[in-house]
Structure 1
Amino acid sequence: MSGLPNDEDANQFMYERYVSSGGFGRAPVNENDLAPRLVILRDLVRRFFPADRNAFILDLGCGYGVLLLAARREGYVQLLGVDGSAEQVAIAHRLGISEVRQGDLFAEIEQTAADVLDVVVTYDVIEHLKKQDLLRLVAEVRRVLKPNGRWIIHAPNAESPFFGRIRYGDFTHELAFTQQSLGAVLRAGGFGQVECFEDEPVVHGLKSAVRWMFWNLLRLGLRFFIAVETGETAAGIYSQNLTAVARKL
């Protein structure tokens, strides 16, 4: 077949068809379709964003901008999201999420001045990068953050027994991480403080409360399994994704 991408362009080939190919799941038709995801992202905003509602926040690889919508509803006003997929940007604008624009992740951050951002978010982004590009991104994010600025990362957690559902659930994924490997990359890149968190169910009603209860029971079993095999008793992170917060000190 003619017109097939070479190895370097394979991911770009898919990004251009991310919505139409089903690679990003079912596209939202209206704001009601965003409700389940908004619950999760509102929790992330409340837990990890700074208290200052005038903080400058850049969401790289923002998709159709649901995190930005959650942040806007929490009162944040200095918001910008960038995504390379024209299909996803079009969805964002159709949904009224005007903070999203189309652009290349690296082009955006490389043209940003040093020490100007309070928060950079990469939600389900760094797993799409090759190792050398991730190291390049680490350096650029650290450069553009203000002192004590934070980088909020959401990525596949290779410590989960079911991480393959995420790692191989998207053809464009290249990497998965544990809290140890991600922390090592970030500290090697100059971040002074790195914390990693489990993606446990967000309680917002009876059903989610039951899920939260069963999740905490199941994770005890996973901790026991690891302790039996290795003798390690330290708490691990067992959800299929993890959240990391790295600070520029």
Structure 2
Amino acid sequence: MTISGQAPREASAMSDLDSQVPYWDAAAATKTFTHPLHLPWLDGIGRHAAILDYGCGYGRTMADLRRSGFDNLTGVDTSPGMIARARRLHPTMRCAVLDAPPALPCPDAGFTAVLLFAVLTCVPGDDAQHRLIGELYRVLRPGGVLYVSDLLLQHDERNRSRYESCAGRYAGYGVFETGDGAVCRHHSRERLSTLLSRFETVGTRTIPVPTMNGHTSTGIQILARKPAAT
């Protein structure tokens, strides 16, 4: 698989709202990501299996995987700033800027597992989310797993107010603006189930997650399997 080191903006298959590269480039040096990696979900995967971290950020989850013995890891992200930080922190890791998200320059069925950690929350559009999940389905081998970690709709007053104030500006309840300029999305369980309808759900966990801006939200992790070929 060949992935180039720079992302031409005109080639992007997503709208600016669904990639927000300038925001993530500016945030690359300061944000800390916290979604936990539940390693028992990967117990059945060989340590040499090909694993993709889509939206790898600065390589935190890839580093966790490597410490656990996985040695065939690829990370991609839309943000050159995030990838630059990843390369500084983990110079031997294979990670690169994604040229035309969500398209991946790799063949069908090339990965045994794909991680999608706190990515859907950063891709607020319905169509963009469906294209992303479809592309990950394509690159997973039959029987491979997609490990999603994201945020559910929150029910506190602060979040409800954000959802309601943005409802007329963006399509879909749960889309909101952060105080520092990002547009994000929280999801109902039904929405996530719809997105993953082509997969078989293997496991689900509900967890508290510290957010990148210092709050605590209810997160969800889903392990989904691409059906084996028949």
**The two structures share one fold, judged by TM-score above 0.5:** yes
Residues 208 and 218, structure 2, Cα contact 8 Å, conserved in 1: no
How many Å separate the matches in 2 of 1:85 and 1:140? 19
Q: Say what the alpha-carbon RMSD is for the aligned residues.
A: 3.1
How many Å separate the matches in 2 of 1:45 and 1:120? 14
- 1:92-111, Cα deviation, whole Å (9 max, x unpaired): 111124222122463552x3
Other-structure match for 2:183: 173
Residues 156 and 163, structure 1, Cα contact 8 Å, conserved in 2: no
3-state DSSP class of the match of 1:199?
Answer: strand
- Give the count of matched residue pairs: 190
Identity score, percent: 24
1:95 to 68, 86, 89: 89
TM-score by length of structure 1 reads: 0.65
**Structure having the larger proportion of residues in strand:** 2
- 1:180-210, Cα deviation, whole Å (9 max, x unpaired): 32012211xx112253311148xxxxxxxxx
Matched, 1:134 2:140: no
Matched, 1:63 2:57: yes
Task: Return 5+ residue gaps in structure 2 as ranges.
Answer: 1-14, 163-174, 210-215
Matched, 1:49 2:42: yes
Change over 3 Å in CA distance of 1:128–1:198 after alignment to 2: same
**Structure having the larger proportion of residues in helix:** 1
Residues 102 and 135, structure 2, Cα contact 8 Å, conserved in 1: no
Residues 78 and 101, structure 2, Cα contact 8 Å, conserved in 1: no
Residues 154 and 186, structure 2, Cα contact 8 Å, conserved in 1: no
2:156 to 154, 161, 172: 161
How many Å separate the matches in 2 of 1:73 and 1:94? 17
Residues 208 and 219, structure 2, Cα contact 8 Å, conserved in 1: no
Task: Return 5+ residue gaps in structure 1 as ranges.
Answer: 1-7, 29-33, 202-237
Other-structure match for 1:9: 16
Change over 3 Å in CA distance of 1:239–1:11 after alignment to 2: closer
TM-score by length of structure 2 reads: 0.70
2:143 alignment partner AA? N
Residues 163 and 241, structure 1, Cα contact 8 Å, conserved in 2: no
How many Å separate the matches in 1 of 2:135 and 2:153? 25
3-state DSSP class of the match of 1:90?
Answer: helix
Structure 1 stretches of 4+ moved >6 Å: none
How many Å separate the matches in 2 of 1:136 and 1:118? 20
3-state DSSP class of the match of 2:24?
Answer: coil
How many Å separate the matches in 1 of 2:62 and 2:157? 29
Q: 1:70: Cα distance to partner?
A: 0.4
How many Å separate the matches in 2 of 1:179 and 1:10? 23
Other-structure match for 1:186: 196
* Greater Rg over alpha carbons, structure: 1
